[in-house]
Chain A
Amino acid sequence: MTEAVASEAPASSEDRMLETLSRYGRATREALQRYLQAQPAAPYLDDLIADYPSRGGKMLRPAICIANARVFGGGLETAVRCAAAVELLHNGLLIHDDIQDGSAMRRGRPTLHALHGAALAINAGDATIFTALRTLVDGLRPLGSAAAAQVLEISTVMARETAEGQALELGWRDHNVINLTDADYFRMALKKTAWMGMIWPAQLGLVVGSGGYASPERVVRFGYFLGVAFQIEDDLRNLCVDPGYGKEMNGDLFEAKRTLMLIHVHRACSPAERARLDAFLAQARDERSAEDVRWLAGLMERLGSIRHGRAVAAAMAGAAAHEFGVAYGGLPPSPDHDFLEGLVAWIFERP
């Protein structure tokens, strides 16, 4: 594989981010195709495995992995296999997430279980995750046992943290846990979003790039604050007119998802409002009315919950920018260095 070299420098930081995402996304998809084009295709399986990856996506996680690998001294060719593993694992978990959440749409199209039923979708999710492990093994083979042992360690930690985060979010919803704090939300976002989405890809790239000689702990705080800011911004967008990816506006409110804004409005409202809110949260999803959702959205606006969410997201992004300096400050400047630094602003600028 050859490394593409841009003939002209893109005009703006947004262009540069898009160009890097596009270039690393393309390289990752090429690597993915090797694992997804089974001949002959197994019936009821291989088409399902290839479905979500074929729907596009920002490819942010693979780009974080590759950029970290290059920043820490590695090359694109080795890193791209690990990036493909990151993307495959992400897609496998998405299949399962959609079933757990009862989601109807994913990336603008019906979810896999809506198309094929939960049983086949779960099976395809399992197979996708194991295919990701195969891809990871191929990516690690050239690196030696020390780096592989490090990857094994950070991957098992990531798997555990991610499962804990998903359990927290589902448990809060299913058991109608109401009295949550901002810190509870940060803890959930750390585990559910940041570890799999930011920390692990960065750690993987660091280990691959450094050959196992840099400490994976170095990038944890940067990935954490980046991930929390990313999650809050995602939750904010769900309250907007166009949440993107075919998601339903205010879908998080219908699902009573424990977002930072919901936690804020619950502690800021009057006793009478809290009684109505608690009754709303105690309902099943299909019992919640559009009128109640509109009332809750208006309450969040009036009591400053949206403003609070935006401010905390910006503050977390600020902390991420600070931690970027700690984690990457001593490394030589490069386009990949700029890309990683630019992720902080990209959280809010992304399409």
Chain B
Amino acid sequence: MTTPEGAPDGATTSRGTSAPKARVRRAPPDRTGPIRAAGPAAAPSAADASGQAAADGAAGSSINEQIAQAVRAGYDVIADNIQQGRQAAERFRQGDYNFRDVPDDVQSVLQRLIQLARELSTTTFDVCDRLLAEWRPTSPPAPPTDGPPPFRPRPEPKQAPAPTAAPGNGAGPGQINLAVQFEGAPDALARTLWLDRPSQPAEAQTFTSTPLASADPTAPVISQVVFKMDLSQGGLVAVVTVPPGLPTGVYSGLVRAPGDGVPLGVLAVEIR
């Protein structure tokens, strides 16, 4: 295994020499943990670090300083990359995107993806389901016996047993995945992961929920719940606005679609 070589700075003790010398001690380390902070306020930027390394050359700084700078630059690079990815995702998710920010060669691809997402967000669950039908859980395809699988998807077996939804496996047939966004309660937790599909096509925006109430009848309720479609989050999204000062606990309400007498399910959230 490759290991870093010793510091070539002459700081090692000269054993075997006759003249006694003061014991060489390392300076106390500036830090004892990894450099995690990537922001300019906490650490020099990658450009600063690299510029410093350039100024140091091979003679000035010790190898340890150079390595520390390299690791810091490494964390800066990944922090910058992740931040850019988050900003891009946030822009696209909110529809606040500007194609002038995107290099030419990916514009067409992104435009198609965004157009698809826009159409899906304003149309029906049926369309959404059809487009995503290839991803639906079915029995795994059998290995082909006469060549590679066709590029066109195989027809699904009509008598395939309907798998049931289980935690960790997503929604089953007849169900839709549900993501929950919280406003005003960053630590809140969704207890509902999917709902039944409506019996008739319906837009996500037309879904309603009864006020989310806790087991304590005297506690306030969460009355503001709106629904939307967002493929980047897996499909149906419930945006729950939590009033300030709401006591901790589990709050739940019934979700309905227009024209459906039977609720699609219970939306349960935990306020922590």
Contact = CB atoms under 8 A, between A and B. Distances in A.
Given A138-B149, A144-B135, A181-B54, A212 B1 contact: no
B216 interface: no
Contacts of B70: 182, 312, 315-316
A182 B148 contact: no
Given A144-B177, A183-B49, A210-B168, A149 B77 contact: no
Contacts of A145: 132, 135-136, 170-171, 177, 234-235
B136 A181 contact: no
Interface of A is mostly: helix
Contacts of B29: none
A233 B3 CA distance: 11
Contact of A190 (B59, B77, B139): B77
A303 interface: yes
A186 B136 contact: no
Contact of A304 (B54, B58, B69, B139): B58
A38 B66 contact: no
B20 interface: no
A87 B57 CA distance: 41
B4 A319 contact: no
A313 interface: yes
B108 interface: no
Given A34-B144, A183-B49, A315-B67, A73 B58 contact: no
Contacts of B73: 181-183, 186
Contact of B76 (A183, A316, A322): A183
B103 to A, nearest CB: 9
Given A186-B73, A311-B4, A146 B49 contact: no
Interface residues of A, number: 70
A134 B151 contact: yes
Contacts of B149: 34-35, 134, 138
Interface in B52-83: 53-54, 57-59, 63, 66-67, 69-71, 73-78, 81-82
A348 B4 CA distance: 12
B155 interface: no
A16 interface: no
A182 B53 contact: yes
A183 B46 contact: yes
Interface string B152-180: 01000000000000001111000001000
Contact of A148 (B8, B50, B135): B135
B28 interface: no
B137 A149 contact: no
A233 B2 contact: yes
Contacts of A220: 78, 82
Contacts of A130: 151
Contacts of A267: 53-54, 57
A63 interface: no
B92 to A, nearest CB: 10
A141 interface: yes
A184 to B, nearest CB: 7
Nearest to A306: B5
Contact of A221 (B63, B76, B78, B234): B78
Nearest to A31: B143
A160 interface: yes
A212 B234 CA distance: 9
Nearest to B5: A307
B141 A138 contact: yes
B85 interface: yes
B8 A304 contact: yes
8 contacts: A36-B148, A38-B147, A141-B137, A146-B171, A187-B77, A224-B78, A307-B8, A315-B4
Interface of B: 1-5, 8, 34, 46-47, 49-51, 53-54, 57-59, 63, 66-67, 69-71, 73-78, 81-82, 85, 106, 109, 113, 132, 134-141, 143-144, 146-149, 151, 153, 168-171, 177, 231-232, 234-235
Given A142-B137, A149-B135, 5 more contacts: A138-B149, A143-B169, A149-B234, A183-B76, A318-B34
